[in-house]
Amino acid sequence: MELYKLEKVSKIYHVANEKTHALDHIDLNINKGEIVVILGPSGSGKSTMLNILSGIDNPTSGKVFFDNKRIDKLNEKELTNYRKDNLGFIFQSYNLIANLNVLENVELGKELAKEPLNIKDLLELVGLKEHMKKYPYQLSGGQMQRVAIARAVVKNPSVLFCDEPTGALDEKTGKIVLSLLQEINQKYHTTIIIVTHNP
């Protein structure tokens, strides 16, 4: 089942007199439940692609469909609902709230969710149940990213966007984070879209 479809999507940024073709006539299909990796060097347009798929930015030309509906034509309110109801995000920087503990950070992700997952089960899955009273400064990078994953996944999004999720981690820890994403994909059938420059 097709979840995303891009037709001839281009994005051109204009800054001063400079034009940057960040995306040039991209066609792409992403099926429900897939894990998709978008691989390319820095500056190749990966974040631009994520921004367009997630409705944070609009293409200069072309069409973007989610569940057979155009999302490049939605108004602000429709876009907010699209993101709120369907999407989760994780980034290279974990963006945890420093003065909230693990449990509270994950609870934040539950706000406004229609059918949130059970937090304790999720903390167990990401291996942080014994650490749920700790604050971000008391955690390793890998643990912080696992909190960020739990926070993104707790609302049970149909799509999880991961922008360089292992960018700040060593290779071994990065692999643990990727295995966790795979487990989440299998357990919750979350469509996972990862962008990275690291093969």
- Is the separation of the CB atoms in 103 and 139 below 8 Å? no
Quick check: 173 binds ligand ADP (CB under 6 A)? Answer: no
Closest chain position to Mg ion (CB): 47
Q: Which residues contact 68 (CB under 8 A, 6 or more apart)?
A: 2, 5
One-letter amino acid for residue 101 of the chain: N
What minimum distance in Å lies between the beta carbon of 50 and ligand ADP? Answer: 8
Quick check: 47 binds Mg ion (CB under 5 A)? Answer: yes
Question: Count of residues for the chain?
Answer: 199
Q: Which is nearer to ligand ADP, 47 or 166 (CB)?
A: 47
Question: From residue 42, how far is each of 164, 195, 197 by CA, in Å?
Answer: 11, 11, 6
Distance, CA of 69 to CA of 107 (rounded, Å): 31
Q: Which is nearer to ligand ADP, 81 or 93 (CB)?
A: 93
Binding segment toward ligand ADP, per CB under 6 A, in 13-21, 84-92, 136-144, 172-180: 13-21
Contact flags string 33-52 toward ligand ADP, x per CB under 6 A: -------x-xxxxxxx----
Binding region for Mg ion (CB under 5 A): 46-47
